[in-house]
Structure 1
């Protein structure tokens, strides 16, 4: 890795938690220089603008989350247990350093739906990747005879995603863990209902 690549990676790693906590609009250039200890010129010598830093930070945050989830899913041999990994991770999201400030997908999605096209496209790609992962688990479970073959896999995956992200959003907004717990209990119930 070249010096420029190392500097770029350093900027991404130092600013990613700030973008996840404060959002795109709430993160200032001062926040970026303070987090990195670099000057404005050093940051913009490695990135065209704040937008490019934000996209790189989102992709880094999502990559950390995705890798962490996939590692735990891959440790589970049973498709139902694989799906329940999502429940375990997001039920305890405040204890996870990657999720400490909330899910990067949810945090970014609610802010950039109409304002930041490139970041929005990256958020959509992340959601599709997550959806695809759930679909793959369910389809594998059907093939193994462990998940009901009549389950509408696509609808199930979207519903599970909505319950998880909705639960995280509710606890962040209300500050009441019971909102997250209710969503996670229902998510676990729909997972149990598709098992054979």
Structure 2
């Protein structure tokens, strides 16, 4: 009798994140996960409990890698509008270059599961809140630096920027090229 195949749960969550990100929650079968992780179904369920529990871990992994990276870009030194433009343009380039056109896993999850999956909705809501908080801090910094008019409501601008970011990530999934996305980025930066 052979020894059971050992696997790294952390690497398994990373692989699962890639599958869920590409196929969505409903589109991912347990067999897809077994194939991607290289383990048996029994090991999958023993290690993670359920497909949904693994999805939640994958969504948290996405938050801890991808979503945090955006916030770090926004917190870099330099002019506020230039940082915002750089972050939006980088996300657009990444989305357009992705052969799977996955977009943003949080946005995809909101579109697929909001209103039907309470825990996934709450995870995404917290990611959006965290991003919006970072955008508000960026706007307030821009106001202190004189780049953004001080009478503008920072909370409203942060919500507008979050909405723009979500829309761009979704738009990039179907865009034929970068032109429309570039126009949106130009318009939102000019509106500040």
Q: Which of the five TM-score ranges fits, normalised by the shorter chain?
A: 0.7 to 0.9
In structure 2, C-alpha distance between the alignment counterparts of 1:174 and 1:100, rounded to whole Å? 9
Determine the structure 2 residue equivalent to 1:43: 44
Determine the structure 2 residue equivalent to 1:169: 170
In structure 1, C-alpha distance between the alignment counterparts of 2:138 and 2:176, rounded to whole Å? 32
In structure 2, C-alpha distance between the alignment counterparts of 1:164 and 1:24, rounded to whole Å? 22
In structure 2, C-alpha distance between the alignment counterparts of 1:86 and 1:131, rounded to whole Å? 14
TM-score normalised by the chain length of structure 1: 0.83
**Residue 7 of structure 1 pairs with residue 8 of structure 2:** yes
Structure 1 gap ranges (5+) = 1-5
In structure 2, C-alpha distance between the alignment counterparts of 1:87 and 1:120, rounded to whole Å? 24
In structure 2, C-alpha distance between the alignment counterparts of 1:66 and 1:96, rounded to whole Å? 18
Contact 2:132–2:162 (CA under 8 A) maintained in structure 1: yes
Q: Tell me: CA distance 1:171–1:120, structure 2 relative to 1, closer, same or farther (3 Å).
A: same
Deviations 1:36-56 (A, max 9, x none): 101111111121211111111
TM-score normalised by the chain length of structure 2: 0.85
Structural RMSD (CA): 2.2
Aligned-pair CA distance for 1:156: 0.7
SS at 1:16's partner residue?
helix
Determine the structure 2 residue equivalent to 1:186: 187
Q: Tell me: CA distance 1:74–1:155, structure 2 relative to 1, closer, same or farther (3 Å).
A: closer
In structure 2, C-alpha distance between the alignment counterparts of 1:100 and 1:174, rounded to whole Å? 9
Determine the structure 1 residue equivalent to 2:125: 124
**Residue 82 of structure 1 pairs with residue 83 of structure 2:** yes
Q: Which moved more, 1:101-110 or 1:167-176?
A: 167-176
Determine the structure 2 residue equivalent to 1:30: 31
In structure 2, C-alpha distance between the alignment counterparts of 1:71 and 1:126, rounded to whole Å? 14
Contact 1:164–1:184 (CA under 8 A) maintained in structure 2: no
As a proportion of its length, which structure holds more helix?
1
Consecutive aligned runs of 4 or more in structure 1 exceeding 4 Å deviation: none
In structure 2, C-alpha distance between the alignment counterparts of 1:41 and 1:83, rounded to whole Å? 46
Contact 1:17–1:61 (CA under 8 A) maintained in structure 2: no
Q: Tell me: CA distance 1:126–1:186, structure 2 relative to 1, closer, same or farther (3 Å).
A: same
SS at 2:24's partner residue?
helix
